[in-house]
Chains A and B, each alone.
Chain A
Amino acid sequence: MTAVPTLPALSEEAQGLATGPVEHPLHPEHTPTGQLSFGAFFQGVNSSTVWRSERSGSQIAWESFETLIRTAERGRFAAFFLGEGLRLREHRGVPLELDVAGRPDAQTLLAGLAAITESIGLVATQNTTYNDPVDLARRLQTLDLLSGGRAGWNIVTTDNAWTGENFRRGGYLDHEDRYVHAEAFVKVAQQLWRGEQIDHHGQHYDVAARGTLPRSAQGEPVLFQAGASPAGQAFAGRTADVIFSPHGTLAAAADFRRSVVDATIAAGRDPQAVKILPGAEIILGATDAEAEEKRIWVRDHQIGPQQAIALLEQYWGRDLSDFDPDGPLPDVEPEIEQSDVTRGAGFQFAKAKELTAAWRAEAAEKGLSILEFAREKSGARRGEFVGSYDRVADRLGQFAALGAIDGLNITPWLIPSGLDDIVDHLVPRLQERGIYPTEYAGTTLRENLGLPPVQG
């Protein structure tokens, strides 16, 4: 067996934060609750889900979702969470074949899962750009009523003409307007939930309707928001109950908390009003060494040779299939005009030439092949949540004490068993430390996230 590298030391900044006295919160207006909530994020796309193992189950079978959500509920997770992509991802004009793909409509699935669960929240990622507000508001309210007040809506604003090819309006929305549009959309939904008559004539729609459904046990669905741009943060400050953030290192999470508290205050809301749950991958073992070994296994199963080449092709913008994945990075120049980040991946890149040159230099210096380099860049990384059960529990204790986060939205890397060790080994340790619920606080998602009753 190869020697297992020791875990990296914390950065100085992170150490300072981690050990800093709790009397100095991250933001003068923010008081840490010291408590954490977990969400289980069924991603359904991207290389993070391992499909090459014998233990990789179906991504679509009811039994997979049933196993996952029952495990999450056993572990007192606050929410079960589904992502959304409204067009099948493509790479170089062909549906991406290398990662898991294909998932059910979030709310239809969650309506079924509501029937076999009692306490866990059910959160659907739903796009504002390609939905009709009256229809989506009614579907969310239906889910909220079917589940006895456990529904949540993760508001996303993904907009592009390519996704629009599946919808009536096509690429109708200017990217700059995505949150203007989203805000009007959410307002309409809230008015309908509150039984109001709406007659909205705005920049993007003219709709007339009346809300007819009763309030649910939690009033109305909890609003999550995912989208980290400044406009996204401002929108969250005005509107969201919870942010699903991409910032999972302590230093980044601390910065993000400060910035979100500022945005919340600027919107005239209680500085505690917005919870933050970063997305996270957790890799555990009985010892640090075992966890690190598992991390390498996960990383190697996440990224195979074809994915390594495809990763580079996104930035080189050309066919690189003739290059050896075990050889050095391609010595050819990128074709910038064809640069084609895998569509639907949620990130864009413009400066292909600079990036590819930097990557070539980095790989050469570290002596990494294409495959090794790709695994470094996009496979499971060392980080805050890789280690022994106790190490990760302690680390989460530091996050909680500081108030950097209110919990994590955890992506299991194996379906459907990927939450097992978290629930069996990490959750009990967090409960012992008094930072994680031993029982559900109530029957609604709002209660289980520690949110106040809905205003309005």
Chain B
Amino acid sequence: MTTPQNSAGAAAPAPVLAVDLVTDPAALPALGALARALEAAGIGALTLSDGGLHPVHVAAHLAPATTALGLLPRTDAVHVEPFHLATQLMSLDHVAAGRAGWLLAVEDTPEAAHAVGREVLGAEAAAQEAADVLTASRLVWDSWAEDAEVRDAERGLYIDAARLQYADFEGETFSVRGPAITPRSPQGVLPVLLADADRAAAGEKVAEQLADGRALDVDLTGLDLTSPDLTDPQAAGDQLRAVVAGELEAAVRGDGASAVRLVRLVGLDLSGDPQALAARLGALAASLREDDLVAPAPAAGTDLRAQLGLPAAVRDEDPARRADRARLAAAASTTEESR
């Protein structure tokens, strides 16, 4: 069986500038306006961290309000049902027209485990589980060819099963048959990044082999974007730049799974006026771009892989997993008998 890999080897351009939003229900009323304002200010992506509301659904909710922002929910890869998670993420990519990504988290806490009737796995087993869930997800995402829907009225075929394949994933703790119940999403295979906050828990396999890249976390906790010293967006941009550029320059940019593809501003208090917040963060983005420290603002309709500098996903076809294998086998045995 072949296993879909990351896009290692691709040279990483300057990382995409992302702002982390916490999915706190109290923040909900202003969330759409904030996302639109940040997009207009040239921010490249939003990451959605779990503050109660499910990050995948919050990302989907923000998709119709935006046209260029990448949307990356940060969500657990351990105490989850892999087939559901894969389906939800690829559905997010459909809703967001190719702007979805996954910030993979490893949450092996007693709370996460007991919520699904399991026990804490321990570091090594949790890292293995996350690697398996990621691999299974990619097999599900990659199970339909882009042209699987043929609509051939003559032959009566809406889809052609020869262009579908099973996932046939067999891990230590679970298996997934497939194919996906959802057609191939616009990006085919979503980009999967690992935030610095999750690096240790994710373990070597995900961090160094399977991920498509790293999200460099810049912690701005305690910084008050609405303070009077920052009323001038330009001054605010310069002050923020001092922190962010320093961290960007100090970071080892790496390659393959370790390539820094996203810089994620975490810990920001985003509860103020969306326009004012966006003006300051927009000034930061402009200032960082003067020195090519972050990628240009995405154009509407750019898919997230392209924005991150990842190559378009190429489908990994595996003849042994073809979804019409039962029919091929029956035809072969008929031929055999007739000899």
**Considering the chains assembled together, what is the distance between the CA atoms of A212 and B54 in angstroms?**
12
Q: A102-B149, A167-B83 are known contacts. Are A97 and B158 too (CB-CB below 8 A)? A: yes
Give bound CA distance, A109 to B57, whole Å: 8
Contact code string B37-55 (vs A, CB < 8 Å = 1, else 0): 0000000000000001110
Once the chains bind, are B94 and A104 in contact (CB under 8 Å)?
yes
Whether B178 contacts A146 by the Cβ 8 Å rule is: no
Pick from B61, B63, B114, B179 the residue with the most CB of A within 10 Å.
Answer: B61
In the complex, chain B residues 52-98 whose Cβ is within 8 Å of any chain A Cβ: 52-54, 56-58, 60-65, 80-84, 87-88, 90-92, 94-97
Instruction: Pick from A103, A165, A306: contact of B155, CB below 8 A.
Output: A306
With a CB–CB cut-off of 8 A, which chain A residues contact B161? 94-95, 97
Of residues 131 through 164 on chain B, the ones whose CB sits less than 8 Å from some CB of chain A are 144, 148-149, 151, 153, 155-161, 164
Q: Map CB proximity to B onto A300-322 as digits: 1 under 8 Å, 0 otherwise.
A: 00001111000000000001000
Q: Across the interface, do A135 and B57 meet the contact criterion of CB distance under 8 Å?
A: no
Stretch at the interface among A18-26, A81-89, A269-277, A390-398: A81-89
Q: Which one of A126-134, A173-181, A284-292, A375-383 is at the interface?
A: A126-134
Using A92-B326, A102-B181 as known contacts, say yes or no to A212 and B52 having CB atoms under 8 A apart: yes
Say whether B156 contacts A307, CB under 8 Å.
Answer: yes
The answer to whether A111 touches B60 (Cβ under 8 A) is yes
A207 within 8 A of B: yes
- Assembled-state Cα–Cα distance A133/B62 (Å): 25
Task: Determine if B153 and A102 form an interchain contact, defined as CB atoms under 8 angstroms apart.
Answer: no
Is the C-beta of A166 less than 8 angstroms from some C-beta in chain B? yes
Interface string of B95-108 (1 = CB under 8 A from A): 11100000000000
Chain B residues closer than 8 Å to A134, beta-carbon distance? 115-116
A165, B177: Cβ atoms under 8 Å? yes
Give Cα A304 to B158, complex, Å: 11
Q: Mark A304-346, 1 if CB is under 8 A from B, else 0.
A: 1111000000000001000000000000000000000000000
> Which residues of chain B are near A212, meaning CB under 8 Å?
52
CB pair A208–B83 under 8 Å, yes or no, is no
**B299 adjacent to chain A (CB < 8 Å):** no
> How many B residues face the partner with a CB closer than 8 A?
63
CA distance A116 to B64 in the complex (A): 7
Within 8 A of B (CB), among A175-198: none
Known A104-B94, A209-B115: A87·B158 in contact at CB below 8 Å: no
Residues of B contacting A209 in the complex (Cβ-Cβ under 8 angstroms): 111, 114-115
Q: Which of B168-190 contact A (CB under 8 A)?
A: 173-183
Any A CB within 8 A of the CB of B324: yes
Given A105-B87, A115-B65, A207-B117 in contact, is the A142-B179 Cβ separation under 8 Å? no
- Does B323 count as interface, using CB distance less than 8 angstroms? yes
In the assembled complex, how far is the CB of residue A264 from the closest CB belonging to chain B, in whole angstroms? 32
Q: Are B53 and A145 in contact (CB under 8 A)?
A: yes
Indicate if the CB atoms of A85 and B64 lie closer than 8 Å: no
* Interface band, chain A: 35 or more
Cβ of B13 < 8 Å from any Cβ of A? Answer: no
Is A55 an interface residue, CB under 8 A from the partner? Answer: no
**A105 touching B176 by the CB < 8 A rule?**
no
Q: Is B32 an interface residue (CB 8 A)?
A: yes
Residues from 198 to 229 in A contacting B, C-beta threshold 8 Å: 205-209, 212-214
Contacts known (A130-B81, A213-B25); A62 close to B326, Cβ less than 8 A: no
| Cβ–Cβ contact A132 & B81, under 8 A | yes
Interface: A157 (CB within 8 A): no
CB of B200 within 8 Å of the partner chain: no
Once A95-B161, A104-B182, A131-B81 are accepted as A-B contacts, the answer to whether A112 and B153 lie under 8 Å apart by CB is no
Given contacts A95-B159, A213-B25, contact A146 B58 (CB under 8 A): yes
Does B28 reach chain A (CB closer than 8 Å)? Answer: yes
Residues of A contacting B179 in the complex (Cβ-Cβ under 8 angstroms)? 88, 95
A280 at the interface (CB under 8 A from B): no
B328 to chain A minimum Cβ distance, whole angstroms, is 9
**CB of A353 within 8 Å of the partner chain:** no
A104 partner residues in chain B, CB cutoff 8 A = 87, 91, 94-95, 182
Query: What residue of chain B has the Cβ atom nearest to residue A104's Cβ?
Result: B91
Query: Closest CB-CB distance, B184 to chain A, in whole Å?
Result: 9
Question: How far, in angstroms, from A198 to B282 measured CA to CA in the complex?
Answer: 44
Q: Is A135 in contact with B81, judged by CB distance below 8 angstroms? A: yes
Q: Which of B28, B81, B114, B164 contacts A168 (CB 8 A)?
A: B81
Interchain nearest-CB distance for A114 vs B (Å)? 6
In the complex, whether B205 has a CB less than 8 A from a CB of chain A is: no
Chain B residue with minimal CB distance to A138?
Answer: B54
In contact, A112 and B115 (Cβ under 8 angstroms) = no
Q: Which of B54, B60, B144 contacts A102 (CB 8 A)?
A: B144
Q: Confirm or deny: A93 has a beta carbon within 8 angstroms of a beta carbon on chain B.
A: yes
Asked if A145 contacts B25 (CB within 8 A), the reply is yes
Closest to A117 in B: B64
Interface string of A126-162 (1 = CB under 8 A from B): 0000111011001100110110000000000000000
The answer for the CA separation of A94 and B328 in the assembled complex, in Å, is 10
Name the residue among A101, A145, A205 with the largest chain B CB count within 10 angstroms.
Answer: A101
In the assembled complex, how far is the CB of residue B67 from the closest CB belonging to chain A, in whole angstroms?
12
Q: How far is the CA of A205 from the CA of B116 in the complex (A)?
A: 8
Partner of A166 from the list B94, B158, B177 (CB cut-off 8 Å) is: B177
B271 CB to closest chain A CB (Å) equals 17
A433 within 8 A of B: no
Q: How far is it, in angstroms, between the C-alpha of A74 and the C-alpha of B58 when the chains are bound?
A: 25
User: Which residue of A has the minimal Cβ distance to B28?
Assistant: A145
Q: Which residues on B sit within 8 Å (CB–CB) of A168?
A: 81-82, 173-174
Report which of B65, B151, B326 forms a contact with A51, defined as CB distance below 8 A.
Answer: B151
Question: Is A420 an interface residue when CB atoms closer than 8 A count as contact?
Answer: no
Q: A62-B95, A304-B153 are in contact. Are A213 and B327 (CB under 8 A)?
A: no
Docked Cα-Cα span, A71 to B180, in Å, equals 29
| B interface footprint on A54-95 (CB within 8 Å = 1, 0 otherwise) | 001001101000000000000000000000011110001111
Q: Please give the residue numbers on chain B whose beta carbons come within 8 Å of chain A beta carbons, in ascending order.
A: 25, 28, 32, 52-54, 56-58, 60-65, 80-84, 87-88, 90-92, 94-97, 111, 114-117, 144, 148-149, 151, 153, 155-161, 164, 173-183, 323-324, 326-327, 330
A-side residues, CB < 8 A to B, are 51-52, 56, 59-60, 62, 85-88, 92-95, 97-105, 107-109, 111-116, 130-132, 134-135, 138-139, 142-143, 145-146, 165-168, 205-209, 212-214, 304-307, 319
The list of the 7 closest CB pairs from A to B, nearest first, reads A306-B156, A93-B326, A165-B177, A104-B91, A105-B91, A111-B57, A102-B183
24 pairs from A and B in contact (CB 8 Å cutoff)? A60-B94, A60-B182, A87-B181, A95-B323, A98-B157, A101-B159, A102-B149, A107-B57, A107-B88, A108-B95, A109-B91, A111-B57, A111-B60, A111-B61, A112-B60, A115-B64, A130-B84, A132-B81, A135-B81, A142-B57, A145-B28, A146-B53, A167-B81, A168-B82
Q: A104-B87, A112-B96, A207-B114 are in contact. List 19 more A-B contacts (CB 8 A).
A: A51-B151, A56-B151, A92-B326, A92-B327, A94-B327, A102-B180, A109-B91, A115-B61, A115-B62, A115-B65, A135-B81, A135-B115, A138-B54, A142-B53, A166-B176, A167-B81, A168-B81, A205-B117, A208-B115
